[in-house]
Structure 1
Amino acid sequence: MRIIYTLLLIITTVFGAELKELPWKKGDTFLTFLQDNNIPQELYFNLEKNDRELCSEIVAGVNYQELRGENNELLQVLIPISEEMQLHLYKEKGEFLFTTTPIAFQEVTQTISIPVHYSPYQDILDATSNQALANEFARSFKRLANFKQMRKGDNIAIKYTQRIRMGEYYGTPNIEAALIEIRNKQTYIFKNEADGRYYDEKGRTLTSFFMTVPVAYKRISDRFTYKRWHPVLKRYRAHLGIDYAAPAGRKIYAAASGRVVFEGRKGGYGKTVEIKHEGNYKSLYGHMSKFAAGIRPGKWVKQGTLIGYVGSTGVSTGPHLHFGLYKNGRAINPSKIIRVTKNELKGKQKQQFILYAKALSQDLLETIKSRPEPLNITKIDKQSKLNAEV
């Protein structure tokens, strides 16, 4: 990734090419992008199955970078498809080529404390200018604390990891632990990285949401991975979901209760249903042969509701269900959520977690005393962001 940006900067400097960052327009697809730039659509149709599926992961509003030369000639494009991976389209010897590359970013882990003046959300925003952190903190404590009861002099403390890319906060921060202190009474949350859920200091879950396997499958034909180096192709691959191989026509059920937000064709995923769930989760069901009666955008479905049937539409080598799961718009591994059905950790896992939580709680309390300066990125001009080392 560093090499790609270095080359972009050299080309920009030496040949006078122009590097721009643009938002992906609503309704645009990878195919329409090729068409608008007079690039043969065979480039897409000649891609492998997984790569064509990844082209369906482009979401409206995401910022992508393009490099254009003289006469507005397109030279290179970088299109993010997750917080970890991006599509790379580039021209070489007069022909456009396609690959996938990791997105480079910095990660900063910090433990901060903020005295309450107005509200946790506003105080975090004022101290860090990090709206995503303020949102994630508010969501995490939504059912645990009444923010209206907080008064001036109360405290919040957070240990979190934040990605930084091109001079800006990037992606959703990962809150490892946090507390709200209301008149010297502390309420804690601790994330268990094994399943991505929040627990209290005694190992009891604070997240009621969990999912079930959406189809009776024969085998898992492809597992989830953010990025994987392919030793033969000599490049990175990604698969942002789980493929469940199953006979054509087998019933597919909603993995959790929620509202249908999409029903139709979605690029390489063919006939697809998307459902939005509590906790800012969204599930995707691809390659269906047909939809169940009554499934349409806006409809509320309960966990276990029939939503469609296994097929092989879109880019597929055989009947299967591609099941994707997203939190805050970011693809996550469904197997971490699906395996979770218990309300409390048990045995050795619980003992280890309680020790882990005890150490973190002490860290948070010490931070309230020491008051380290929170990270607050100062906005820089657009071209500096694009030229930043990432």
Structure 2
Amino acid sequence: MKKILLLFIIFFNLLYSAEVKELPWPRGETFLTFLDKYAIPNSLYFNLEKEDKELCSEISADAKYYLYEEDDGSLNQVLIPVSEDIQLHIYKDVDNTYKFKTLPINYEEITQSIALPITTSIAYDLKKATGSPMLAAQLKSIYDNTVNFRRMQKGDFIVIKYKQKVLMGRAHSMPEILASMVEVSGKKYYRFKNSKDDKYYDEKAKAFTKTYFFKVPLTYKRISSHFTKKRWHPVLKRYRAHLGTDFAAPRGRKIYAAGDGYVEFIGRRGGYGKTIIINHRNGYKTLYAHQNAFRKGIKRRQSVKKGDHIGYVGNTGLSSGPHLHLGLYKNGRAVNAMNVIRKADTKALKGKSKNTFIANAQIVIKDFDLILKDENREKPIKLDRTTYKTKLTI
């Protein structure tokens, strides 16, 4: 850990009074084309371990990255986020060779409660108060057609308690709503997130979150590599991550869609080789990598059903042997597919779980009632919006 902290100190000392560019990752750019752009040997990439090569395939178009160039235009160093928690660090060492590391993203997490009277609309009022265009979308998805927001009148209230990751004073990733109250035409509707199953319930513990079942997309021999969000390796003395689950299986074994949706991407994707991405239309996407071949006739924008044959196990891209790398993403965030696949459906809480949940919900409702009083209403922290053309001076 001391080495990691020292690295950051050195990084910022080197850049003191230097211009660090904050840029969007260009569409169509790959890790290898980025290396070529700065005349960095491709061996930097090909010498990486399998998990690190796969992380290089997780770079998303338009994601912010931070670049510091020398006066002659060559690369000094760059930080490229690949998830909420991990970023890639390429830097020029003292011997003028380039090195690669994976580093944690040191974000701050804030939790706040806000109460807003409706003046125009939920989307407009929330964005104006918090600077977040995503909070209203999250709120509406929680109520999911059970509340008619169009009936809201001027003077109705919304109260939200939510968590937000913050990086350099800006929202980092999607907000997470913990509890909310929406008043429509004088009637109050509550939703509370249950940390035990990540579903939303009302004050009586009735469930309102739809359950989306996914199936394991193939018959496999074993899981050869599990999902790892961020892990400090005590032997290698560095951070490692693996944003998917690897299923070892013979080459040519059939791969099936894990759930209903449509094919958003089909083709080659960096170190993932032949890859299919399915959009499930509910905030979830699944990624199927290292395929030997795609099912004949399958194409982009094609609708698929859970269990439909989509491809065959292989080891295309950078792979040490035939397997399927399954990635699962919820609202753009990599999550452990096995947790979702194995999650049981819940219609309503019962017994002790129900009683505990209702008691905790009543505590939050009392807090909301206090916030609604003018003299106690909390002012939300308004985070800066991301501006891709910003140039930071450190």
Assess same fold via TM > 0.5: yes
Q: Given the alignment of the two structures, is residue 363 of structure 1 paired with residue 364 of structure 2, yes or no?
A: no
Compared with structure 1, are the counterparts of its residues 121 and 87 closer, same or farther at alpha carbon in structure 2 (3 Å cutoff)?
Answer: same
In structure 1, the partner of 2:261 is 258
Residues 68-83 of structure 1: pairs in structure 2 closer than 5 A: 68-83=69-84
Residues 27-46 of structure 1: pairs in structure 2 closer than 5 A: 27-46=28-47
What code does the residue aligned with 2:36 have? Q
Choose which of 375, 378, 381 in structure 2 pairs with 1:372: 378
In structure 1, the partner of 2:121 is 119
Residues 257-314 of structure 1: CA deviation (Å, up to 9, x unaligned): 1111111111111111001112221110111111112221110111111111222221
Using the TM superposition, give the Cα deviation of residue 245 of structure 1 relative to its aligned residue in structure 2, in angstroms. Answer: 1.9
In structure 1, the partner of 2:228 is 225
In structure 1, the partner of 2:62 is 61
Using the TM superposition, give the Cα deviation of residue 368 of structure 1 relative to its aligned residue in structure 2, in angstroms. Answer: 2.2
Equivalent position SS for 2:172: strand
Choose which of 300, 307, 313 in structure 2 pairs with 1:310: 313
* Aligned-partner Cα distance in 2 for 1:382–1:284: 27
Using the TM superposition, give the Cα deviation of residue 177 of structure 1 relative to its aligned residue in structure 2, in angstroms. Answer: 1.3
Compared with structure 1, are the counterparts of its residues 140 and 381 closer, same or farther at alpha carbon in structure 2 (3 Å cutoff)?
Answer: closer
Asked if structure 1 preserves the Cα contact closer than 8 Å seen for 2:149 and 2:184, the reply is: no
268-277 vs 177-186, greater mean Cα deviation? 177-186
88-97 vs 241-250, greater mean Cα deviation? 241-250
* Aligned-partner Cα distance in 1 for 2:244–2:387: 36
Asked if structure 1 preserves the Cα contact closer than 8 Å seen for 2:221 and 2:247, the reply is: yes
What code does the residue aligned with 2:382 have? N
* Aligned-partner Cα distance in 1 for 2:73–2:14: 14
Asked if structure 1 preserves the Cα contact closer than 8 Å seen for 2:19 and 2:393, the reply is: no
**What root-mean-square deviation, in Å, do the aligned CA atoms of Structure 1 and Structure 2 show?**
2.3
Point out where structure 2 has 5 or more consecutive residues left out of the alignment: none
* Aligned-partner Cα distance in 2 for 1:317–1:380: 39
* Aligned-partner Cα distance in 2 for 1:156–1:42: 54
Residues 294-349 of structure 1: CA deviation (Å, up to 9, x unaligned): 22111011111111122222122222211111122111122232122413245554
What code does the residue aligned with 1:220 have? I
Compared with structure 1, are the counterparts of its residues 303 and 160 closer, same or farther at alpha carbon in structure 2 (3 Å cutoff)?
Answer: same
Equivalent position SS for 1:172: coil
Residues 152-177 of structure 1: CA deviation (Å, up to 9, x unaligned): 12111111011111121221011111
Point out where structure 1 has 5 or more consecutive residues left out of the alignment: none
Compared with structure 1, are the counterparts of its residues 192 and 381 closer, same or farther at alpha carbon in structure 2 (3 Å cutoff)?
Answer: closer
In structure 2, the partner of 1:95 is 97
* Aligned-partner Cα distance in 2 for 1:253–1:357: 41
The alignment's TM-score, normalised by the length of structure 1, stands at 0.92
Using the TM superposition, give the Cα deviation of residue 17 of structure 1 relative to its aligned residue in structure 2, in angstroms. Answer: 4.3
The alignment's TM-score, normalised by the length of structure 2, stands at 0.91
Using the TM superposition, give the Cα deviation of residue 356 of structure 1 relative to its aligned residue in structure 2, in angstroms. Answer: 3.4
Equivalent position SS for 1:316: coil
Using the TM superposition, give the Cα deviation of residue 383 of structure 1 relative to its aligned residue in structure 2, in angstroms. Answer: 10
* Aligned-partner Cα distance in 2 for 1:237–1:165: 21
Asked if structure 2 preserves the Cα contact closer than 8 Å seen for 1:20 and 1:66, the reply is: yes
343-352 vs 255-264, greater mean Cα deviation? 343-352
Using the TM superposition, give the Cα deviation of residue 75 of structure 1 relative to its aligned residue in structure 2, in angstroms. Answer: 0.8
Residues 1-390 of structure 1: pairs in structure 2 closer than 5 A: 3-13=6-16, 17-92=18-93, 93-201=95-203, 202-344=205-347, 345=349, 348-369=352-373, 370-377=376-383, 386=392
Compared with structure 1, are the counterparts of its residues 85 and 381 closer, same or farther at alpha carbon in structure 2 (3 Å cutoff)?
Answer: closer
* Aligned-partner Cα distance in 1 for 2:200–2:386: 35
Compared with structure 1, are the counterparts of its residues 364 and 62 closer, same or farther at alpha carbon in structure 2 (3 Å cutoff)?
Answer: same
